[in-house]
């Protein structure tokens, strides 16, 4: 509106005003469905983000466990080297053979505990990797559902512009397909 007290409506403004104040049931239905689809899409987007974060956290835990396992394997290798040196020392002339036999036995028993700890950590790492893969798959399902809902919203906008009833049904069909994908995501399928 200008300071002189008159206002010039453009064709787009006129159509929006007419649609807002008119009794166009078709446009009203499309507007309500678009709002519902946008709300549902926002929920799908939230779930997709949450599962993506879970996948990243699980992968991080897997990496931590893998690093801990590698540390244990390094410790195991260190004990093996000490055991080998003690075995070598037993054949040298003038050494206390019993002392080195005891060390070899001690290193052998210590290695077994270290090996079990390393294998346990590797198994835990593998489990975290599986959880990460599962969460990432679920994230992809949520993303697919969100994409379908976005397409449905776009079809609804085109429906509103063209007033084509078949586009309205296509929009609803794509939204239903997206909801089906969301159900699969919810069920971890």
21-35, 44-58, 66-80, 151-165: which has the minimum mean pLDDT? Answer: 21-35
Q: Report if residue 10 sits inside a domain.
A: no
Q: Look-up: residue for tokens 């790492």? A: 125
Contact, 146 vs 39, CB < 8 A? Answer: no
Q: Report if residue 1 sits inside a domain.
A: no
Q: Report if residue 83 sits inside a domain.
A: yes
Contact, 140 vs 183, CB < 8 A? Answer: no
Q: Report if residue 18 sits inside a domain.
A: no
pTM, entire model: 0.71
User: What is the Cβ-side half-sphere exposure of residue 124, based on CA atoms within 13 angstroms?
Assistant: 16
Contact, 95 vs 89, CB < 8 A? Answer: yes
Q: Report if residue 20 sits inside a domain.
A: no
Number of independent structural domains in the chain? 1
pLDDT in tens, 85-96: 999 988 888 889
59-63, 101-105, 115-119: which has the minimum mean pLDDT? Answer: 101-105
Q: Which residues constitute the domain of residue 106?
A: 25-186
Q: Report if residue 172 sits inside a domain.
A: yes
pLDDT in tens, 4-32: 666 666 665 555 566 556 667 888 889 89
């Amino acid at each position: 509106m200008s300071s002189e007290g008159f206002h010039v409506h453009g064709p787009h403004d006129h159509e929006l005003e007419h649609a807002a104040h008119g009794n166009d049931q078709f446009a009203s239905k499309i507007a309500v469905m678009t709002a519902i689809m946008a709300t549902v899409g926002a929920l799908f987007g939230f779930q997709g983000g949450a599962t993506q974060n879970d996948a990243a956290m699980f992968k991080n835990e897997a990496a931590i466990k893998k690093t801990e396992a590698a540390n244990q394997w390094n410790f195991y290798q260190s004990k093996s080297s000490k055991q080998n040196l003690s075995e070598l020392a037993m054949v040298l002339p003038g050494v206390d053979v019993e002392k080195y036999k005891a060390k070899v036995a001690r290193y052998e028993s210590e290695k077994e505990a270290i090996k079990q700890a390393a294998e346990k950590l590797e198994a835990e790492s593998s489990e975290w990797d599986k959880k990460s893969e599962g969460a990432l798959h679920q994230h992809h399902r949520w993303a697919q559902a969100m994409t379908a809902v976005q397409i449905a919203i776009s079809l609804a906008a085109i429906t509103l512009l063209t007033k084509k009833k078949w586009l309205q049904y296509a929009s609803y069909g794509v939204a239903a397909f997206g909801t089906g994908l969301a159900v699969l995501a919810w069920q971890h399928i």
